[in-house]
Structure 1
């Protein structure tokens, strides 16, 4: 089966405008690619993109959840939403944050995977519930609250929602992959 054409193809300078084009170029350098397709698509909304970007960057790079926990949530959301773009980007980033291929396989397997800590099981379970049911059960929430602060619990919800929405956006807009694998 051949890939379907992009719903909105990645744009260049004309479509992004000078500010978003520079941001997309910096992003592309960060992933060591000639283009960062997600930025070259979302950047075509010249006002929304620079407003969305700081929240996204905060959740990814500076949030109150550990980078390991954030990547666990993001990988699980990408897996649940079958979003290859999100998975391709975050498998790489997760490796740089200490989540090796064996651990990533456990994240994809789910909360019952052998070798997960209780905290990791609860985090994956909460992510599953949040994405699938649009909420977290009282039992799972209590377990999650046993491992995280109030601010981290709020951030967990925002992170899961951000990446669930991003996966839906990527899929709908048919953002092309950045890497050949």
Structure 2
């Protein structure tokens, strides 16, 4: 396994709290190590501030249905060619009702056969957000027919979070949790 620009840390680098969080995270994802946590956790305070925000976008505080969130995350990971993000969220997406066939359509793009109107507009909006750093008026109007105001805000925050995370993962060259 390649070490990347910042090698995954252990107890000494993470400190006791972040080390425990990384260990629990690894158990949750059924991996020997949650490499992202073992890298980001080395900035002890920033990691502790980032973690609840990130968890809120995926957990009980989320206003977007899990399927929608995973569609956006998978599309961002695809657009940014971030295998780490894709590896994590392909697995998570399946637990949230996004099967492998639907995932293939997400990667194909908004014109893929068999997507719902909601899926098409979420993919289109994600593409625009990531590529142009905005969403066109036409796309926004269509998106607004499917999402509430809080969901629209969350869509932007989610796409930005995972776009930034993909850039961070790629730049730091975070090794995969499941190299095979």
- TM-score, scaled to structure 1: 0.97
1:136 — aligned with what? 135
Cα displacement string for residues 108-167 of structure 1 (whole angstroms, at most 9, x for unaligned residues): 000000001111100000000000000000000000001100000000000000000000
Structure 1 unmatched runs, 5+:
none
1:54 — aligned with what? 52
1:168 — aligned with what? 167
Query: SS where residue 88 of structure 1 aligns?
Result: helix
The correspondence of residues 81-92 of structure 1 with structure 2, limited to 5 A, is 81-92=80-91
Shift of 1:81: 0.1
Cα distance in structure 2, aligned partners of 1:90 and 1:119:
20
2:96 — aligned with what? 97
Query: SS where residue 47 of structure 1 aligns?
Result: helix
1:39 — aligned with what? 37
Q: Does 1:27 align with 2:32?
A: no
Q: Figure out how many residues of one structure are paired with residues of the other and give that number.
A: 179
Query: SS where residue 8 of structure 2 aligns?
Result: coil
1:17 — aligned with what? 15
Cα distance in structure 2, aligned partners of 1:173 and 1:133:
24
1:8 — aligned with what? 6
Query: SS where residue 18 of structure 1 aligns?
Result: helix
1:122 — aligned with what? 121
Cα distance in structure 2, aligned partners of 1:4 and 1:30:
23
Cα distance in structure 2, aligned partners of 1:32 and 1:158:
27
Shift of 1:180: 2.6
Cα distance in structure 1, aligned partners of 2:159 and 2:19:
28
Cα distance in structure 2, aligned partners of 1:48 and 1:180:
27
